[in-house]
């Protein structure tokens, strides 16, 4: 999954960052549901927010990996291709 020049691929970074992204999604879903009570919505349980974060953490982890890859390229002085995966 690493490229020939030793750089980490976006896919490998996404796998590494998935647990953190899924946890952030779970926390944000739960807190959003608490704020939704102000307009009459029902709050979801913490367990339900964890279950919902499992699939929603995948795109969050992917976007986080793309962001980190861009930061790594910038730190290395590379321009980086925005279409690179």
Residue 45's Cα: distance from chain center in Å? 21
Q: Which domain holds residue 69?
A: 10-75
pLDDT of 67 > 80? The answer is yes
78/3 Cα distance (integer angstroms): 14
The count of domains in the chain is 1
pLDDT of 82 > 80? The answer is no
Domain assignment of residue 2, yes or no: no
Domain assignment of residue 4, yes or no: no
Tens digits of per-residue pLDDT, 11-55? 999 999 999 999 999 999 999 999 999 999 999 999 999 999 999
- Give kind and range of the element (H or E) at residue 29: helix 10-36
């Amino acid at each position: 999954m690493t490229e020939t020049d030793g750089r980490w691929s976006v896919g490998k970074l996404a796998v590494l960052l998935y647990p953190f992204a899924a946890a952030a999604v779970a926390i944000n879903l739960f807190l959003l549901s608490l704020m939704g009570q102000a307009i009459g919505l029902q709050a979801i349980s913490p367990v339900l927010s964890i279950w919902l974060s499992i699939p929603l953490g995948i795109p969050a982890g992917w976007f986080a990996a793309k962001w980190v890859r861009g930061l790594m390229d910038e730190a290395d002085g590379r321009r980086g291709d925005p279409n690179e995966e």
